[in-house]
Amino acid sequence: MEKIIIEKIQIKENELTYFYNVTEKISKYFMPIRKYSLKYEMNIENVPKSILAIPFICNILPVSWLFDAEIVVDELDENFYESIVPIKKSYQNMYPDLHFAGNLKCKKIIQNNYNASKIAMMFSGGVDATATLVKHISEKPILINLQGSDIKLKYKAVLDNVEIKIQNMAAQFSLPITFIETAFREVLNEKELDDFISIVNDNYWHALQHGIAILSHAAPIAYLKKIKTLYIASSYTKGDNAKCASDPTIDNLLKFASTTIYHDNFDLTRGDKIELINKYCEENNLSLKIRVCFNERKEENCCKCEKCYRTIFEIISRNGNPENFGFDLPRNFLRKAKFHFKYKIIFSPAVIVLWKKIQQQFQNNPDLNCDPKYVWFLKFDFAESNNFIKKLYANTSLFVKKILRK
Ligand SMILES: [Zn+2]
């Protein structure tokens, strides 16, 4: 049986480093350096190792399942340990075309308890997270932000600027925020894993990794701050039938010590969330700088990637002003949008569903459905638009980028 072995967990004040090894056959699915670190903003020396192991385990659990490997670790928190098999079953239900096997060998199972009372939430600063924040504002959640997730650690300057923006948002809501710097996306060879799971028509990070991998980073904070409930905002909506590693059937099963997880706002659409934020901002006279952008080299919203466009159109569909959400729209925005939609952006099946909902919202909005400047948008066929020219353009630019990198 293949093995993934945690050799050592090193703790130095606020820094946690994992040293690990993997057996030969699965080696190519991991990056060559077999150690990585997480940095917290608080001293974690008093957190038990059975809790500190959780972020590592959650990051590699799906790999161990896919390759029928055994994870070997000295000690683990009991509640966490018991949540693993149910989570695996949920993965199997979501992806019947993949086989989830594997095993976890742990020498000591330890019961950790604390008198949990506080609330926390994972906070990226995007639309989903902001809607969860607004909904639970009266519970005064502690905000937790991961650096090294959507924006890689190598883009330090971008991360620093995003950190300032997120700190400002936390201040606007008078909430405490803490950051975790993590190299967890530098552990797996995502390219190889993408190829391995190509049957599910999605990338490894989105399909299998990100949900529990992100949430688990909060385990040491949950222990130190005695967190009762940890919220993570939903990206999809009940009824979308979207397949995604962050799903209520997975996230809500994860437990560590006395902390439970809640996958929040699964009953709201992205438009509903925008409406919720819009209402709160109007009532409290707030203007936010929400960051949704796919472009990890930019701290501002680029206003030209699929996610930026989707959010902007969603805001317009709800009679909101994109400028109040942190979008600095360029001149001739709609003309540029039309061009990008037609010739550049490839719309995946998962987002086409969302775009159709936005078109429907425009259709139902009397201020918009007769406005001549949106006629092209109302008629735009997203599925049909993924034509040969667009794919050729995308592949050519990818090829050019690769050559430039060499
Ligand atoms: Zn963007």
> Measured in angstroms, how far is the CA atom of residue 300 from the centroid of ligand 1?
8
**Measured distance CA(79)–CA(61) in Å, rounded:** 16
Q: Which residues contact 100 (CB under 8 A, 6 or more apart)?
A: 62, 65, 66, 88, 91, 92
The domain segmentation of the chain, as residue ranges, is 2-118+123-264, 292-405
Q: Give the residue ranges of DSSP H helices in 285-365.
A: 306-317, 333-343, 349-364
Q: pLDDT band for position 388 (50/70/90)?
A: low
More confident residue, 128 or 400: 128
More confident site: 286 or 62: 62
- pLDDT (mean) for 49-70: 98
pLDDT for 113: 95
Residue (of 20, 37, 12) closest to 183 by Cα position? 37
Higher per-residue pLDDT: 320 or 73: 73
pLDDT classification of 296: cutoffs 50, 70, 90: confident
How close is the Cα of 292 to the center of ligand 1, in Å? 7
For residue 406, what pLDDT is reported? Answer: 65
Percent of the chain surpassing pLDDT 70? 99
Maximum C-alpha span of the chain: 68
Band the pLDDT of 63: cuts 50, 70, 90.
Answer: very high
Residue 398 has a pLDDT of: 73
- Ligand 1 centroid from CA 403, angstroms: 24
pLDDT band at 7 (very low <50, low <70, confident <90, very high): very high
Q: Which residue has the higher pLDDT, 393 or 246?
A: 246
CA pair distance 74, 124, nearest whole angstrom: 32
Backbone angles phi, psi at 323, to 5 degrees: -60, -30
Instruction: Look at residue 239 in the predicted model and tell me its pLDDT.
Output: 87
> Residue 225: which H helix or E strand, with range?
helix 219-225
Residue 304 CA to ligand 1 centre (angstroms): 5
Residue 401 has pLDDT above 90, yes or no: no
Cα–ligand 1 centroid distance for 336 (angstroms): 13
CA of 248 to the centre of ligand 1 (A): 27
- Of the candidates 136, 124, 349, the residue with the CA atom closest to the CA atom of residue 243: 349
pLDDT of residue 349: 80
**Once rounded to an integer, what is the mean pLDDT over residues 91-107?**
97
Distance from Cα 308 to the centre of ligand 1, integer Å: 4
Phi–psi pair at 18, nearest 5 degrees: -100, 130
> What is the pLDDT at residue 27?
98
pLDDT bin (cut points 50, 70, 90) of residue 330 is: very high
> Cβ(213)–Cβ(204) under 8 Å?
no
Of 259, 295, 322, 290, the C-alpha closest to 80 is 259
Expressed in angstroms and rounded, the spacing between residue 311 Cα and the centre of ligand 1 is 9
Q: What is the mean pLDDT of residues 96-115?
A: 97
Give all strands (DSSP E) within 25-102, no chain letters.
35-39, 69-77
With a cut of 90, say whether residue 115 has pLDDT above it.
yes
Average predicted confidence (pLDDT) for the chain? 94
- Tell me the C-alpha distance between 368 and 389, whole Å: 31
Task: Report the pLDDT averaged over residues 96-118.
Answer: 97
Would you say residue 297 has pLDDT above 90?
Answer: no
